[in-house]
A = this chain, B = another copy of it.
Amino acid sequence: MEMTILSVAEHIGAAVEGDPSVEITGVASIEEAIPGDLVFAETERLFRAAEESQATAIIAPVGLGVSRKPVLRVHRPRYAFARALELFAPEQSVKVGVHPTAVLGESARLGHSVAIQPYCVIGKNVRIGNRVVIYPFVYIGNDVTIGDDTIIYPNTAIHDRTEIGHRVVINSGCVIGADGFGFLIHEGRHYKIPQIGNVSIGDDVEIGANATIDRARTGTTRIHRGTKIDNLVQIAHNVEIGEDCIIVAQVGISGSVEVGDRVILAGQAGIKDNIAIGSDSMVGAQAGVIGDVPPNSVVSGYPARPHKDQMRVHASLHRLPEIVKTFPEIAVAIQRLTERIEELEQRLDGSGQ
């Protein structure tokens, strides 16, 4: 793919400094750039690195640096770079139509321009929106609905009654709507509590590879609009996650947790069941949340507490061994001082003062 700097600039809304007719053939990081590449520099340091790199042109914020290379000046450089990446993204050639090997259940209703690739199995009474793409080895149970422009990558299983919105991306290997993990002790053994609810995924949600989202016991496990979920995340039954959250890889969210809007859960964090995490909060990597988190909080550690307190604790921890070692000496010192004072007191008493 080849485009002039002028065409790229028009697409990303940039002003061009330098020759607008120069050809761009790719987008790269500064370290890996080869001639023809467009790179992105947000700071003085990166701008200088870009200038010295083999890159042909630079996207940079207005007012940053001067270059002999053509510069595409923008106000929101990260967004502009994302838009440039879109231009040079390898084409996804998806063949519209239902592959003859796909097995469709009764009463399936498909929108137009749907692509159902080889070896998909789709249950009864499934509704699939327009321009949906379903990759090979996707299993879709009965009574599932899928909105327009949604993409489901290979080897994913969507169980009965799941509701999926528009423009959802479900990466490979996900399991959506498996039974929640619910048992009770009956006659000394674990008795399965039927999980008769479902899962609902809002518009513009993205779900990472091999993530699992369990159906509700009764009612619905809900992921609201715009939330992005990374790989290998576990979301248990009856969880409700608000809008525009970021759930990083390997996070585990236990049953009936409520997460507000715009919450960030960093990697490998774990949330105890029946906890509420307020909107605009952030939970640190590997944190273990065992109590409610108010809105606008930043918590970390196990058990999770305000991040500032936690950082103070971590900063003091390496002093602990010394304190533990010295601590008994203090008791001894105080004891020794007490004895010397008693002696002094006795001497003074003895002297009649």
Binding site for B on A (CB under 8 A): 27-29, 31-32, 76, 78-79, 81-82, 85-86, 88-90, 93, 101, 103, 117-119, 121, 124, 135-137, 139, 142-143, 153-157, 159-161, 169, 171-175, 178-179, 181, 183-184, 186, 188-194, 196, 204, 206, 208-210, 212, 214, 217-220, 226, 228, 230-232, 234, 236, 238, 244, 246, 248-250, 252, 254, 267-268, 270, 272, 285-286, 288, 290, 301-303, 305, 309, 312-321, 323-327, 330-331, 333-334, 337-338, 340-341, 344-345, 347-348, 350-351, 353
Counting every copy of the chain, the complex holds 3
List B contacts of A218 (CB < 8 A): 27-29, 32, 85
Q: A79-B184, A181-B228 are in contact. List 20 more A-B contacts (CB 8 A).
A: A29-B217, A101-B101, A119-B119, A135-B139, A153-B159, A153-B178, A157-B173, A159-B172, A173-B174, A175-B210, A181-B231, A189-B244, A209-B212, A214-B231, A234-B250, A249-B254, A252-B267, A313-B320, A326-B327, A341-B344
- Establish whether residues A348 and B345, one from each chain, have CB atoms under 8 Å apart when the complex forms: no
B136 near A136 with CB under 8 A, answer no
Residue of B nearest to A139 (CB): B154
- Top 5 A-B pairs, shortest CB-CB distance: A175-B209, A139-B154, A85-B194, A157-B172, A316-B324
- 30 pairs across A/B with beta carbons < 8 Å? A79-B184, A82-B192, A90-B161, A93-B124, A119-B119, A119-B121, A121-B137, A121-B154, A136-B137, A137-B139, A139-B155, A155-B175, A169-B179, A173-B175, A181-B208, A181-B228, A190-B228, A236-B249, A267-B270, A301-B302, A316-B321, A320-B320, A326-B331, A330-B334, A334-B334, A334-B337, A340-B341, A340-B345, A341-B344, A350-B353
